[in-house]
């Protein structure tokens, strides 16, 4: 099996598991099952972070932590109305413009639901010109009363996009939760390989709700000297966005960040690995926007500070029900991650 085929099969498995922030248990258990045969040490902490250690051919005197977050954006039930509808809040930054009509899986029973709004012929002209606020939306699970709805859902239940992994077009993939199951998938793929040096892998929780809580706790436990953070990041190569406004574009390779809202990456390590990527024939591009933050914000500042790299797959329609990625970009992401893990050692 090719490396890319293996990676996309891992990605399919992980994307089809549900896990909004605070409810990552199923994702963590799936990853545990995948990596248990190749892990030398594995444990979870009280926040739900999964730590996996794999020995390499050589001991790494200072810790390298490779990190990606397990949680996806979604929703949580906040109230049940008398007529059986579910009011909700977002878990993570979901755009209200893309919510209406989306199918969901609600609560631990994964009850089918759909995000709904009053019919268009009941709205005013002014209401039709703006995205409806979340407060005006509700989830319809087919219940006709509060009592009936409470048989299937409770306040605090997580709700997940019902958008299964699908291949389409010219080597494209569409699914929920590619942010950041792609980073998790690359880590699983690396754990299945023989490594040059001892390496810690952190599958983190609670990234999408801000504050990088899981990664902060993980960094304070491991005290890394080096880190590699992997993400799905915004691709804007689409109609209506000029080239100079595109933060990243699909088909141009793995994304390397220079700066975002939580991190400024050190120029020497960026230059070193962009040069090595060129030498190895790995396609790459800079992230040309500083919007958004990642777990790198915690990894590089905790426990005295760490040096590292932030890389990502260019992903269309991020934080929506249907993320889209291009398989060759994922291949480049795996290759650069493998190169970093191999060559970021104590002498670097």
50 found inside a domain? yes
The pLDDT tens digits for 126-182 are 767 777 889 989 999 999 999 999 999 999 999 999 999 999 999 999 999 999 999
Same domain for 12 and 142, yes or no, is no
Given a cut of 70, is residue 346 above it in pLDDT? no
230: part of which helix (H) or strand (E)?
Answer: strand 226-234
Same domain for 265 and 314, yes or no, is yes
Q: Which of 161, 195, 212 is the last residue of a domain?
A: 161
Instruction: Give strand pairing partners of 229.
Output: 67, 310
171 found inside a domain? no
Average pLDDT of the residues of the chain: 92
273 found inside a domain? yes
Say if residues 251 and 285 touch (Cβ distance below 8 Å).
no
Same domain for 185 and 118, yes or no, is no
Q: Which of 161, 191, 226 is the last residue of a domain?
A: 161
Same domain for 52 and 89, yes or no, is no
Same domain for 314 and 201, yes or no, is yes
The strand pair at 138-140 and 172-175 is best described as unpaired
With DSSP H G I counted as helix, E B as strand and the rest as coil, what are the percentages for the chain, rounded to 5?
30, 25, 45
170 found inside a domain? no
Given a cut of 60, is residue 348 above it in pLDDT? no
Short-list 218, 204, 221, CA closest to 19: 204
The pLDDT tens digits for 197-209 are 999 999 999 988 8
Q: What is the pLDDT of residue 95?
A: 84
The pLDDT tens digits for 22-44 are 999 999 999 999 999 999 999 99
- Tell me the CATH number at 226: 3.40.630.10
CA distances from 343 to 64, 98, 199, 222 (A): 11, 42, 12, 20
Same domain for 197 and 219, yes or no, is yes
Global pTM? 0.94
Same domain for 213 and 87, yes or no, is no
Q: How many domains does the chain have?
A: 2
Same domain for 49 and 81, yes or no, is no
Same domain for 207 and 288, yes or no, is yes
Instruction: Give strand pairing partners of 43.
Output: 51
299 found inside a domain? yes
169 found inside a domain? no
Q: What is the pLDDT of residue 238?
A: 76
Q: What is the pLDDT of residue 290?
A: 63
Q: What is the pLDDT of residue 295?
A: 77
| Domain of residue 323, residue span | 3-72+176-343
Q: What is the pLDDT of residue 333?
A: 98
Q: What is the pLDDT of residue 342?
A: 96
Q: What is the pLDDT of residue 129?
A: 74
Q: pLDDT class for 300, splitting at 50, 70, 90? A: confident
166 found inside a domain? no
- Tell me the CATH number at 156: 2.40.30.40
Coil vs helix vs strand at 326: strand
The pLDDT tens digits for 247-274 are 888 999 999 999 877 788 899 999 999 9
Same domain for 154 and 250, yes or no, is no
Q: What is the pLDDT of residue 124?
A: 73
Given a cut of 70, is residue 307 above it in pLDDT? yes
The pLDDT tens digits for 209-232 are 876 788 899 999 999 999 999 999
Same domain for 30 and 114, yes or no, is no
167 found inside a domain? no
Mean pLDDT, range 61-67, rounded to an integer: 94
Same domain for 115 and 60, yes or no, is no
């Amino acid at each position: 099996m090719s490396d890319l085929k293996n990676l996309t099969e891992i990605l399919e498995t992980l994307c089809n598991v549900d896990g909004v922030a605070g409810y990552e248990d199923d994702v963590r258990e799936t990853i545990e099952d995948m990596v248990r045969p190749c892990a030398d040490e594995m444990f979870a902490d009280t926040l739900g972070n999964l730590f996996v250690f794999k020995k390499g051919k050589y001991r790494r005197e200072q810790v390298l932590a490779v990190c990606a977050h397990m949680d996806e954006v979604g929703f949580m039930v906040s109230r049940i109305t008398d007529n059986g509808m579910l009011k909700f809040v977002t878990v993570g930054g979901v755009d209200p413009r893309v919510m209406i009509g989306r199918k969901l899986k609600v609560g631990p029973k994964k009850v089918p639901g759909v995000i709904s709004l009053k019919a268009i012929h009941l709205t005013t002209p002014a209401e039709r010109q703006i995205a409806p606020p979340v407060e005006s939306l509700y989830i319809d699970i087919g219940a006709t009363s509060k009592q009936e709805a409470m048989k299937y859902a409770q306040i605090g239940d997580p709700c997940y996009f019902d958008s299964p992994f699908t291949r389409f077009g010219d080597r494209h993939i569409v699914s929920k939760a590619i942010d950041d199951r792609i980073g998790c998938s690359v880590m699983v793929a690396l754990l299945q390989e023989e490594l040059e040096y001892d390496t810690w892998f952190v599958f983190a929780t609670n990234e999408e709700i801000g504050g990088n809580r899981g990664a902060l706790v993980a960094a304070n436990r491991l005290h890394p000297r080096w880190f590699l953070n992997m993400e799905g990041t915004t691709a804007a190569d689409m109609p209506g966005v000029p080239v100079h406004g595109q933060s990243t574009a699909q088909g141009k390779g793995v994304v390397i960040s220079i700066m975002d809202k939580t991190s400024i990456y050190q120029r020497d390590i960026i230059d070193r690995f962009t040069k090595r990527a060129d030498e190895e024939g790995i396609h790459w591009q800079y992230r040309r926007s500083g919007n958004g933050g990642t777990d790198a914000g915690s990894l590089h500042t905790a426990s005295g500070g760490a040096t590292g790299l932030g890389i990502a797959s260019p992903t269309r329609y991020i934080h929506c029900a249907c993320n889209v990625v291009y398989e060759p970009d994922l291949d480049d992401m795996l290759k650069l991650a493998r190169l970093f893990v191999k060559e970021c050692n104590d002498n670097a």
